[in-house]
Structure 1
Amino acid sequence: MTSLFEQNRHYVLGDEELNLIGSVDKLAQWRHKGMGPAFYKLGRKIIYRGSDLNAWAEAQRVEPSKGGQV
């Protein structure tokens, strides 16, 4: 598995790297709907662990079908 995010780092809203998976608004929509990567909510601060972001990104991976239609 390729790591898009640093495994042991914590990311907060506004970190440029989070734009890789979605805008601040899109992340807020996903949190509201119970979708997207796992996160911590500490007061009003939202924190994502790099390991959770990598796990979520890996789960979104699509393997193209070989030689045919779906």
Structure 2
Amino acid sequence: MPDLFENDRNYVLGDPELKTIGDRAKLAQWRHKMKGPAFYKLGRKVVYRGSDLNAWAEAQRIDPARQGQR
């Protein structure tokens, strides 16, 4: 699957592309619980790198054909 996000781009809260993985409240919950994609906290601004978002999305991938195989 091609990348969902541009690897060399930074995303900030309010960017519509972030809604692909969750709304603003969900992202805030994940940050508080230290879950979800990696992020930078720069003062009050939260920044996500596209490469981190793609890595996190790939880690969430489930392949039903491989379930039960070990």
TM-score normalized by structure 2?
0.91
RMSD of the TM alignment (CA)? 1.4
SS at match of 2:46: strand
1:26 partnered with 2:26: yes
Q: Give me the whole-angstrom Cα distance separating, in 2, the residues matched to 1:56 and 1:46.
A: 16
Q: Cα deviations across residues 4-61 of structure 1 (Å, max 9, x unaligned)? A: 0000000000000000000000000000000000000000000000000000000000
Residue 52 of structure 1 is matched in structure 2 by 52
Percent identity among equivalent residues?
72
Q: Give me the whole-angstrom Cα distance separating, in 2, the residues matched to 1:7 and 1:63.
A: 23
Q: What number of residue pairs does the alignment pair up?
A: 67
Give ranges in structure 1 of 5+ residues lacking alignment.
Answer: none
- Deviation, 1:2, is 2.0
- Return structure 1 stretches of 4+ with deviation > 4 angstroms: none
TM-score normalized by structure 1?
0.91
